[in-house]
Structure 1
């Protein structure tokens, strides 16, 4: 084995580790963890699942922790057949998460550049670029771990696909199967979908090129190899894909059932999906980070002109210090942002060089895919194209926050940038020198043009209206935004000139190639790290473990004195928080894919009842007997704070199950949801008789009690003199739940729009609900076989390659 050949790869790995240590120093050296809101929310949602796993060694496939109940495999399910999980877990033992995701992203992009025959030492700069941009690291800081995991594997998947069209079929198959499996395992189908769009554009250009060059047989062979590899990767994740598809039909990403919801015909509501849309000019943050003022709120220095301006207006120092901690600096189109998506002024400059110097269909693929990602990110600000995509392109309407499509240019633009460096390094300098200088003049000149234009810009944002009629304060903030804009435009100008100078002197033979490459990598790091550090820095790390971040409050302690299975309503933003779920079964929660029917219930009943609960508490009353929907969900406790005295014991909750005396019939979902406004859920049940047959509408009372609770199994005992209809305060889900009365299967009915019901014969009976979805038990076997095949192929291919190189 030639050590010289593997030396660059060893150096690359070492540099990637060192840079990760720089970005995550407290994680490596101070035993701290990132204080990530979404991770804390996720841990809260996972708690019931984790406790059940630790206690029994089994998987909780259903959980009552959020939204009165939902499949657990949408939150945190471990698959016994998923062997490939040990690859990222092994990396995490050496490099702790989330730094491990940044490391994987760097290595994956490095591999992609090697496939395109970029100089290995230059490819190190590419890996650093992909892992250190602010789009990636802001997502890390926010706790979007599955998102960054999916982003990190994208370049490696692309590398495998490209190899297939280079006729490297063995490694194309092995690399695509392995990385596609790891990509899907990341469990962020939205990012994987955007990768698919990039691949589709690539495939289109490959097809055109094959037709032009009469190489369709080679194209077909590559497609065949990749198809089998992708199917193997899918097979290794069958459970995740199957359950996501199955649940998607019943979630807010599925078809709407109410006729009033005219926007949704098989996907998200358009207004919801496009809420986070980039402004038309927002992609300029790729090269000038503070083009739109940074994050929604940023801390400003006490020595800034803004702080001095406040003091000159007579504002005391304490108030100034408080105000500058959260200045509304962002003035773009999004309702909220954690920071700008900065790709790097140097990378954008190199991208322009790539657009000029790279020849052939690869260039047009990367430009087209980048442009598509940018246009899609505009969302509602470019309706003509994006509403068409949303309404007609398969699967596109399943995803929200379209600004996330910038994942496409953040993959494609750096790739073309380094292909441009590759080609300019090999080009005849006298022949391309003029084009090079023109490119420098264009981008550097653009930065200077931004500076000049800033004196004519208003820097007005929608957030300004929240400051009322304080025109002097608004003017100070806008002046500060202008200063931020100009400072970063000059900053980008300086980095472009520095990078261009290195390239120029390299090609003029004034500096050596090795020195030039080292300087370019250094400039890239110095360009990216300080901007990313604005949003991911030492202040984001905390000493406490995440367990301590979800502390048991006095309110929690009071509620936990109650034994049995019941639910809790947190009046503080109940449908956008999951902390309640850490210790309790909640009627609220935090998840991007609630059940469609439960969302309908929230919008049509729960939000109204919750508002009335708040008004009643303000009036001093704790009588909630007339809140039929809250009560039918077995909401035993209502909390409005963290003190023991801020918990109300709701004596009117319906309990875990009850017999009703009358059925109110409905013929469609509209009638079902509307009828809930006029029924006493303790005595009556609303059932759609077009879906569920009933031989009678009148029933006699009886008694029913929950005697055993597990996430996957609930056991009741009932007593009734004649046939009765029991309603259960459990969410109806048609896939996987089975009901048994004395061991004999019984048909589960859907009552009150979201709950389960059973017809129960007279006498004493044991009633059991079990959740055993085929999607879990069948998939585990398939996943095991496919995972073993992938691992055997990968290890075999690696052994063959090593033997070949010895």
Structure 2
């Protein structure tokens, strides 16, 4: 009897896992059944950035902690570093059942939200519907399509962290501790601190309501005990990732997320991003309507439109041929919102929004106000500079908030909180009975119905003007056709949302009238949720996104790459085609450019003050047929041996004026500040002169005399040189200066590294012959890795011991 009872209890969870796996097989079917892979831009760009690191690992078995692949050199921590102390990755593999990415993250998201709903005592079969809703909303799916894998990994663990905290506050101390510690460790492991920061905001709001409740009920001792237990769990989770956190924090102070040293860069002196950069992607005030109606703002920046659409017929009536129409409808500029461009709308789900209204009307007390206030807060933050009065204040004064860009990403908060309140509300309706809550239920139905009715009416009244319309010039007739298409798309999705909500309402009503059994109602509800999400998700993640080998086509070696690769020396390449927003060049060469959201602050300054102006001048010189590059001092000091401007073998210049790997200078210009250093940099001959900020770096080298210095061996973490000189001298190296980890040795004796020419390294070298060595040995990596190992072992042992204790006690 007990075995049968145990199986009956386990059956819903078995069914949940089975349904989640099946949905993942459907969503990613080309990956599972055809051997294809997602063609994700960010993943491909990341592969370019990773190539030197992976190649070094495969060749030596060691980790490249530094890479010259991007931006003339930067730490590899935030690109692709593996940590031997990171044991939590095995927990990730177990929970995701060994599925490949990104299906593994989608499965974890569904399981984590399912678990969160179970913790809130939602029926397991309803919780299955909730798991589907959380794992298939388009905020998640569009992030998968774009290749923001660490972002979706962080999103997937948010519900589990929240569930552990809730359990602990309910005095389920052992289970709460275990779940919080493990899920927090895996949340941080995801390495997307922006999403983790938004989770922290949700938790702080929850904690505030629990504190108020404790004060009112005299429960401060229990509150303090809970906070203590959670603190230990979080510390353990942090400890299991200490190396990652430490290195990211350490590097963050020197990246564009840290303060600028230039007084002219006033917006960055506070230690965060530029406000304009951070708010570049801000939702319009009404754009969260896409939570309910996906195509209300036109969908993605460009959408495929049917050949039978009014737009296609309108083009045909204007005399356009079938071929012209077919090409045009493949990429119609349908989006008319405030963002520069978008991969698609953030659709939370019509049924989930309907349930949110039910929860808002039915639920009373702190849980409701916590989830509602957090949701509203997240939506307001997503408005960015469309609500300056509030969001500029938050950006300037909320600790840590100014480290993150793309504030539209704060929708992660309502996408967690709104469906949670919705399913809790539906469970309350079931538990207390329909008759008792009939008024609140119908209030929710009327409210959501009224909103959709107003939106339907608006599709006949609004003009659907978009910023892109101006690019179509005087083609007023075409603009009008596109606006009519936008209205048609919005109208169709309003009606679709009405249908989805109607189906959900029908199931609840039939159930309440005992026209259908509970189990049938549950599975019908799961079906409606699946029907609501799958087709919308498939708009942005479908067979067209999968190819047989995306890396092969993206990184196919061009003739110019073949030509450059014949050179086996250590050099850099400048790709004149959008160099600071691509990492394809980095796949084969050390690049001046790259693709990363946290390049070095000083290097960004160099780009803005010197590299971009020099590139503009260089392009003009090349157009005039002049290939003498001796006047481009900054490009040359970065050892830019090749200038690439196409993929043909002839579309590359071998720059004979590059300064080389290292050189002795004749003159040192002293400066007193970073501003003076970067300004004078454009005035000197970098081959013979160096600029050093003597307010920060002291030197006594004699710059007179002849000498030579050469690179003998290059690896990401270690560079070996030999020098020969008549007198003591100052050598400048075409390597980026970074104070946290790089060490220099002359004949085995450690010496100080100077910063020259704003971004480069320099050394005072004695006369005579010497061996010079640079080694990258960051303490944050080596110490952090050991702490990670210890904390991971403690975490695993405590979890196993705690679960064993619970089982034996029962």
Are 2:62 and 1:58 equivalent residues in the alignment? Answer: yes
Measure how far apart 1:514 and its partner are.
Answer: 1.1
Residue 81 of structure 1 aligns to a residue whose secondary structure is: coil
Aligned to 1:501: 506
Determine the structure 2 residue equivalent to 1:650: 655
Matched, 1:341 2:346: yes
- In 1: Cα distance, 2:554 partner to 2:326 partner: 27
Counterpart residue number, 2:366 = 361
In the alignment, the residues of structure 2 paired with residue 275 and residue 466 of structure 1 have an alpha-carbon distance, to the nearest angstrom, of: 20
RMSD (Å) for aligned C-alpha atoms? 1.1
Shift of 1:207: 0.3
On the 8 A contact 2:702/2:730 being kept in 1, the answer is: no
1:325 alignment counterpart: 330
Instruction: Tell me if the contact between 1:572 and 1:640 (Cα under 8 Å) persists in the aligned partners.
Output: yes
Equivalent residue number for residue 303 of structure 1: 308
Classify the secondary structure of the residue corresponding to 2:540: coil
Query: What CA distance in whole angstroms lies between the structure 2 residues aligned with 1:244 and 1:780?
Result: 13
User: Are residues 1:600 and 2:608 paired?
Assistant: no
Secondary structure (helix, strand or coil) at the match of 1:686 reads strand
Where do 1:245-264 residues align within 5 Å?
245-264=249-268
User: Cα 1:696–1:712, aligned 2, differ >3 Å: closer, same or farther?
Assistant: closer
Q: Does 1:462 align with 2:462?
A: no
CA displacement at 1:801 relative to structure 2: 4.1
Q: Which moved more, 1:496-505 or 1:762-771?
A: 496-505
Q: CA deviation at 1:804?
A: 5.0
The answer on 1:239 being equivalent to 2:220 is no
1:506, distance to aligned residue in structure 2 (A): 1.0
Distance in 2 separating the partners of 1:47 and 1:626: 32
Deviations 1:188-245 (A, max 9, x none): 0000000000000000000011111111111111100000000000000000100011
Offset of 1:552 from its aligned partner? 1.3
The answer to whether the 8 Å contact 1:659/1:727 transfers is yes
Matches within 5 A, 1:610-689: 610-689=615-694
Judged with a 3 Å threshold, the aligned counterparts in structure 2 of structure 1 residues 792 and 551 are, in CA distance, closer, same or farther, namely: same
How far did residue 488 of structure 1 move? 0.5
The answer as to whether partners of 2:728 and 2:765 remain within 8 angstroms in 1 is: yes
Question: Do the aligned partners of 1:79 and 1:780 also contact (CA within 8 Å) in 2?
Answer: yes
Q: Does 1:3 align with 2:10?
A: no
Q: Which moved more, 1:610-619 or 1:761-770?
A: 610-619
Aligned-partner Cα distance in 2 for 1:615–1:90 = 57
Q: 1:738: which partner in 2?
A: 743
Where 1:31 maps in the other structure, the secondary structure is coil
Q: 2:432 aligns with which of 427, 451, 461?
A: 427
Structure 2: distance between partners of 1:593 and 1:550: 23
Task: Specify the alignment match of 1:175 in structure 2.
Answer: 179
Deviations along 1:13-43, one digit per CA (max 9) or x if unpaired, are: 0000000011111011111100000000111
Greater CA drift, 794-803 or 705-714: 794-803
Report the Cα offset of residue 791 of structure 1: 1.1
Aligned mates of 1:697, 1:605 — CA distance in 2: 28
Deviation at 1:456, TM superposition (A): 1.6
Question: Which stretch has the larger CA shift, 423-432 or 73-82?
Answer: 423-432
Q: Which residue of the partner structure matches residue 590 of structure 1?
A: 595
SS at match of 1:430: coil
What are the superposed Cα offsets for residues 578-597 of structure 1, whole Å, 9 maximum, x if unpaired? 01001100000000001000
Give the whole-Å Cα distance in 1 for the aligned partners of 2:120 and 2:547. 41
Q: Residues of 2 paired with 1:526 and 1:93: CA distance?
A: 25
What is the aligned residue count? 805
Partners of 1:323 and 1:701 lie apart in 2 by: 65
Alignment-derived partner of residue 534 in structure 1: 539
SS in 2 for 1:644: coil
Deviates more, 1:507-516 or 1:276-285: 507-516
Contact preservation (8 Å) 1:106, 1:127: yes
Inter-partner Cα distance in structure 2 for 1:394 and 1:643: 50
Q: Does structure 1 residue 68 correspond to structure 2 residue 72? A: yes
- The partner residue of 1:95 within 99, 109, 112 is 99
Q: Quick one: distance in 2 between partners of 1:429 and 1:319?
A: 57
SS of the aligned residue for 2:523 comes to helix
| Paired position in structure 2 for 1:285 | 290
Q: What's the offset of the Cα at 1:91?
A: 5.4
SS at match of 1:726: strand
SS in 1 for 2:731: strand
Deviation at 1:547, TM superposition (A): 4.5
Q: Deviations over 1:454-497 (max 9, x none)?
A: 22201001111111111010000000000001110111111111
Offset, 1:249: 0.6
**Residues 798 and 336 from structure 1, CA distance in 2 versus in 1: closer, same or farther, beyond 3 angstroms?**
same
Within-5 A mapping of 1:383-402 = 383-402=388-407
Match status 1:230 vs 2:234? yes
Q: Partner residue of 1:520?
A: 525
Is the 8 Å Cα contact of residues 194 and 404 (structure 2) preserved in structure 1?
Answer: yes
Aligned residue runs from structure 1 range 15-26, under 5 A: 15-26=19-30
Aligned counterpart for 1:694 among listed residues 696, 699, 713: 699
Q: Does 1:137 align with 2:137?
A: no
Q: Secondary structure at the match of 1:11?
A: helix
C-alpha distance in 2, partners of 1:121/1:727?
Answer: 67
5+ long unaligned stretches in structure 1: none
In the aligned structure 2, how far is the partner of 1:521 from the partner of 1:218? 38
Aligned to 1:571: 576
1:698 Cα shift?
A: 4.0
User: CA contact under 8 A between 1:567 and 1:584: conserved in structure 2?
Assistant: yes
CA contact (8 A) 1:662 1:697 kept: no
Contact 2:37–2:547, Cα closer than 8 Å, also in 1: yes
Once residues 327 and 537 of structure 1 are traced to their aligned partners in structure 2, the CA distance between those partners, rounded to angstroms, is: 19
Q: Is the 8 A contact 2:361 2:443 kept in 1?
A: no
Give the secondary structure class of the aligned counterpart of 1:767: strand
Map of 2:803 onto structure 1:
798
For residues 643-684 of structure 1, give each alpha carbon's deviation from its aligned partner in whole angstroms, at most 9, with x where no partner exists.
111111111100000000001111001100000110000000
Moved more, 513-522 or 305-314: 513-522
Matched residue of 1:429: which SS? coil
1-side partners of 2:66 and 2:245: how far apart? 17
Match of 1:382 in 2: 387
C-alpha separation in 2, matches of 1:180 and 1:764: 54
Please report the TM-score for the alignment, with normalisation by the length of structure 2: 0.98
Listed one character per residue, the Cα deviations across residues 707-742 of structure 1 (whole Å, up to 9, x for unaligned) are 000100000000100011100000000000000000
1:447 paired with 2:447, answer: no
SS in 1 for 2:88: helix
Q: Distance in 2 between matches of 1:355 and 1:582?
A: 52
Q: Distance in 2 between matches of 1:767 and 1:500?
A: 75
**Deviation, structure 1 residue 619:** 1.2
Give the Cα–Cα distance (whole angstroms) in 1 for the partners of residues 154 and 436 of structure 2.
42
Q: How far apart are the structure 2 equivalents of 1:219 and 1:244?
A: 32
Contact kept in structure 2, 1:616 and 1:622, CA below 8 Å: yes
Q: Structure 1 residue 428: deviation in Å?
A: 3.7
1:167 aligns to what SS in structure 2?
Answer: coil
Q: In structure 2, what is the equivalent of residue 33 of structure 1?
A: 37
* CA–CA separation in structure 1 for the residues paired with 2:540 and 2:506: 29
| Alignment equivalent of 2:761, drawn from 732, 756, 763 | 756
Q: Confirm or deny: 8 A CA contact 2:160 2:183 kept in the other structure.
A: yes
Which SS does the other structure have where 1:206 is aligned?
helix
Per-residue CA shift, 1:148-172, capped at 9, x if unaligned? 0000000000000001100000011
Give, in whole Å, the separation in 1 of the partners of 2:309 and 2:672.
65
TM-score for the superposition, normalised by structure 1: 0.99
The whole-number CA distance in structure 2 between the counterparts of 1:377 and 1:545 is 33
Cα contact 2:39–2:550 (8 A) shared by 1:
no
d(CA) in 2 for partners of 1:682 and 1:334?
45
Match of 1:292, SS? coil
Counterpart in 2 of 1:772? 777
Separation in 1, partners of 2:780, 2:148: 26
